[in-house]
Amino acid sequence: MKTPKYLVPDLYTADPAVHFFNGKLFIYPSHDVESGIPENDNGDHFDMRDYHAFSTDDIENGTLTDHGVVLDVKSIPWSGRQLWDSDAAQKDGKFYIYFSLKDRNDVFHIGVAVSDKPEGPFVAEDAPIKGSYSIDPCVYEEDGSHYMYFGGLWGGQLQRYRDNKAIECGHEPADNEPALCSKVVKISSNMLEFAEEPRDLLILDENGEPLKAGDHDRRFFEASWMHKYNGKYYFSYSTGNTHFLCYAIGDNPYGPFTYQGVILTPVVGWTTHHCIAEFKGKWYLFHHDSRPSGGRTWLRSLKVVELEYNSDGTIKTIDGLME
């Protein structure tokens, strides 16, 4: 698959999370709707309200099975609005969706919902995960342990926190100061809580210095994703307002990570959000753009393209405008 393929032509879907469950590839995207809210930097026009789950056993030539709505904002006891990005995990025969949602005070937290089947339906816990904040949970599993990566600037509210505590006036650091980091935290054995305090996931430049807040082409903005290739950990993310998908490589799940380059150049539409998964011996980049909706950034469409590595383990850059 050398050119991208759109996956869900009849729904606007974005922010994919992809996992191999029960012999099939399961895709958990967010679900875009026409909200009627004017576009702004806080992302109020991204007023998503439910999740569908999709599955396939042939990502290149097969079709997706739509399992319907697996979690709805109305069924979440603590819900306010804006059911943003999610991820999924499994343990001991149970399946979990971790989701971004604003509470009734318009503050983002991360919740968890549970099911006996990867296709749901999922039942949400009564409250968000204690100590959680911001958006875009990604869950990485290794040797029975699960780690969550999360955070997003601007509408994702990450700038409102320092050292896991809310600050009075949320702001980004000055351009010459270290950039705000994605957060990483180990999940407890029951999969419903944090097992520790979230830590900064540090991204270093070629000189071993933390990326600066003013380095908008490389610094973290949102859309954390973790995968492992040839014994190395690959942390990938979006730069947000400059619209790149970038990656950094480290030696353990906590980092630090050293910046390597661009995975995907800007697509049609403001946001870039993705995941990376291996399936049947090939690696794939799942992402989205707004081309089918005529460039309306809040109505995005899920797509996939093969991802390739160079001999030194770096990733070949993909043209975001390629059709």
Q: Which amino acid is at 134?
A: S
Residue 64: closest CA among 4, 2, 9: 9
Q: How far apart are CA 140 and CA 138, in angstroms?
A: 7
Please give the tally of structural domains in the chain.
Answer: 1
In percent, how much of the chain has pLDDT > 90? Answer: 96
- For the segment 188-212, the average pLDDT, to the nearest whole number, is 98
| Residue 314 counted as domain residue | no
| Residue 321 counted as domain residue | no
| Residue 168 counted as domain residue | no
Joined tokens for residue 182: 């994605």
Residues 6+ apart with CB under 8 A from 214: 174, 175, 176
| Residue 323 counted as domain residue | no
Q: How far apart are CA 152 and CA 223, in angstroms?
A: 7
CATH number of the domain at 200, please: 2.115.10.20
- What would the DSSP string read from start to end of 93-137? TEEEEEEEEE-TTS-EEEEEEEESSTT---EE-SSPPTT--SS--
| Residue 226 counted as domain residue | yes
Q: pLDDT-derived band of residue 2, with 50, 70 and 90 as boundaries?
A: confident
Task: Give the model's pLDDT for residue 267.
Answer: 97
**Mean pLDDT score across all residues of the chain:** 97
With a threshold of 0.85, does the pTM exceed it? yes
Report the catalytic residues: 15, 222
> For the segment 70-83, what is each residue's pLDDT rounded down to a tens digit?
999 999 999 999 99
Q: pLDDT-derived band of residue 1, with 50, 70 and 90 as boundaries?
A: confident
> For the segment 62-71, what is each residue's pLDDT rounded down to a tens digit?
889 999 999 9
> For the segment 272-284, what is each residue's pLDDT rounded down to a tens digit?
999 999 999 999 9
Task: Give the model's pLDDT for residue 62.
Answer: 87
> For the segment 118-174, what is each residue's pLDDT rounded down to a tens digit?
999 999 999 999 999 999 999 999 999 999 999 999 999 999 999 999 999 999 999
Task: Give the model's pLDDT for residue 145.
Answer: 97
Counting beta carbons within 10 angstroms of the beta carbon of residue 163, is it exposed (0 to 12), middle (13 to 18) or buried (19 or more)? exposed
Task: Give the model's pLDDT for residue 270.
Answer: 86
Q: In what order do the strands lie in the sheet with 199-201?
A: 138-142, 145-150, 182-186, 199-201
Strand-strand pairing, 94-102 and 83-91: antiparallel
Domain of residue 33 covers 5-162+173-307
